[in-house]
Amino acid sequence: MPIEKTVDIKLNVKPVFMCMYHDYVYEGPCRFGSGEELEKKYDLMYNQEAYQLFLKNIKTHLEGKVNLLEPVFVGRNEEFQIKEEILKKITEDMEKTDVYLFGQGGRVYDIVVEFAQRFKKPIMFSEPPNPFFTAITASAIIARGLETYPTLDWDDIIKYMKVLRVRKVLKETRALLASKGNSNISFSTTDSFICLEDVTKKLGVRFRYEDIHNYLTKHTSFHLIPIILYQEESVLTPQKMTWKLLRRSQTN
């Protein structure tokens, strides 16, 4: 199995644009206009324009920086129902999605909050159209102890996506510990992790163990550590030993 370089690991981002349209012609409490501005076809036209701007901004700011999954466009009417087909459409790529990036056209805050509660996926918010969507929705998600990032501009979005990418890299990291006996704390320095299980729980890094004596016996022509220490001209250079350790950690 080839080693996957951390530089090649990208964050999988699922863009989701959610909007609202009105089936009936009326004003209030948050809807004002005249003539065709109050017709359904006007809402649909506006939502499509906002969606295209959403896609354009994503391409401008994120293309090449992350792995962009297929975008989703969903809408609902003024009945404010959270329909299962909406959530099903959003979650089509959920298994491979690392973070959802929501855009908005209308009052769809409650759908995003329920999505966060049910699926426990990281959520960010695109810019534009407005910061109220971010403030209203993110505050409700944070109050429920769920993961979201109240991003207000593209600098914010890119910054937090870099952090989530590092988290993903750590979760996919496997470290080979060639220790003496069953020890994992050095006797010469004490600044290592006290409990590696806690490291796995917090960062996702997994550890593979092999006794250093067995390792050197199997992978070198030397059978005693003192011999290696004094063979300065040995073919087994520190660089080669490091590479061997990395290779073995990725195949177990």
Position 217 pLDDT exceeds 60: yes
CA 151 to CA 104: how far, in whole Å? Answer: 13
Instruction: Output the six-digit token pair for 157.
Output: 């979005």
Contact 16, 100 (CB under 8 A): yes
Q: How far is CA 247 from the centre of its chain?
A: 26
Give the phi and the psi of residue 14 in degrees, each rounded to 5: -105, 105
> When comparing pLDDT for 62 and 249, which is higher?
62
Question: Residue 128, preceding bond cis, omega within 30 degrees?
Answer: yes
- pLDDT of 169 reads 92
Of residues 248, 124, 108, the one with CA closest to residue 178 = 248
pLDDT for the residue numbered 32: 74
35-55, pLDDT tens digit by residue? Answer: 787 888 888 898 899 999 999
Contact assessment for residue 174 and residue 207, using Cβ atoms and an 8 Å cutoff: yes
Quick one: pLDDT at residue 231?
38
**Would you call 11 exposed, middle or buried from its count of C-beta atoms within 10 A (0-12, 13-18, 19+)?**
buried
Please state the pTM of the whole predicted model.
Answer: 0.76
pLDDT digits (tens, 9 = 90+) for 84-116: 999 999 999 999 999 999 998 888 999 999 999
Using pLDDT thresholds of 50, 70 and 90, give the confidence band for residue 241. Answer: low
> Yes or no: is domain 10-168 CATH 3.40.50?
yes
pLDDT of residue 13: 97
Residue with tokens 């409650």: 110
Flag whether pLDDT at 129 surpasses 60: no
DSSP 8-state class, residue 150? -
The structural domains of the chain, with segments of one domain joined by +, span: 10-168, 174-250
